Amino acid sequence: MTKLPERLGTLLLVKQLGSGRHCQIWEVLEDSSQKRLAIKVVPPLMARDRQQRRLLSHESRVGRSTNHPNVIRIDRLDEAEGIPHLVMELFPHPTLKKRIFDSHETVLAVAPRIAIEAATAIHHLHERGWVHRDIKPDNLLVTAEGAVKLIDLAIADRIPGLVGRLICPGIRVQGTPSYMSPEQIRGKRVDGRADIYSLGCMIFELLCGRPPFCGSSTNELLNNHLSQSIPVVDAVNRSVSRSMAVLVKQLLAKDPAQRPSSMKDVLCQLTAVRVFDKPFQKLE
């Protein structure tokens, strides 16, 4: 069987909402409650893959440890027809990546709310002891008004204690190259400051329409995170205030010790700063 069946137990598959390298997201209808939900499901050909099963199980554990309106709610890990799947709330809105691509000017109008709600979601995750490790526009679902849901907790890791930061084995490098912190690229054990860096990359893209660093290859892109000067936000988008540009530069510091010490600190600054101080102008 290469295609998903029409039903998985009590869930009727309605329509596919998205897909990744090893999973699909579907809207489903639950028989008993008639509620519309979403599922994250491994395609049938990979249903027995141990690594994919471990990732779903891990994401379920992380998700069930959270409880916040800006973080997608995961109800349970289930299996039907030999196919494992996560059952979660349905939030039928595009990703921030798609909204930026479709209409950047529209997104700019609600950019302050998006930035604050994204930081709020990450702060909640950190409070529960997790670092997300893959903060990016693709992992935020956003309404037209700027309300946010953080998704995809598959590679979240426990925030290390002092011993874990000083003594750790080689770490498998995971994440998305356009948004990875320098310490993550180097394969170090990361804490919440890695998510702060990734949030900085995402806010830069939110304000400027593109990530802060680019490259003709993955290696060049990663090297630019490590060594290229931090781009100036208000040089690309002249509507952005100087104080907001300074904050983004702090978030993107190469050395984690030079970034804000916590997402709580980031939130305090985001809620206090004026994001724009001029009418929107054509981006450089």
> pLDDT digit string (tens) for 205-226?
999 999 999 999 999 999 999 9
Query: What is the predicted pLDDT for the residue at 161?
Result: 61
> Which residues are CB-neighbours of 275 under 8 A, at least 6 positions away?
111, 112, 115, 207, 240, 241, 244
- Tokens 């304000």 belong to 207
Q: Which CATH number fits domain 7-89: 3.20.20.70, 3.30.200.20, 3.40.50.720, 3.40.50.10330?
A: 3.30.200.20
> Considering only CA atoms, which of 270, 248, 256 is closest in space to residue 131?
256
Q: How do beta strands 24-30 and 7-8 pair?
A: unpaired
Q: Is the pTM of this model over 0.85?
A: yes
Domain boundaries, the chain: 7-89, 96-272
Tell me how far apart the alpha carbons of residues 47 and 4 are, in angstroms, rounded to a whole number: 11
pLDDT per residue as tens digits for the range 45-94: 888 889 999 999 999 999 999 999 999 999 999 999 999 999 999 999 99
Fold held by 96-272: Transferase(Phosphotransferase); domain 1 (1.10.510)
Percent of the chain with pLDDT over 70: 94
pLDDT at residue 176 is higher than 90: yes
Residues annotated catalytic, as ranges: 134
Task: Give me 184's structure tokens.
Answer: 């993550």
Tell me how far apart the alpha carbons of residues 205 and 251 are, in angstroms, rounded to a whole number: 13
Of the candidate ranges 49-58, 139-148, 195-204, the one whose mean pLDDT is the lowest? 49-58
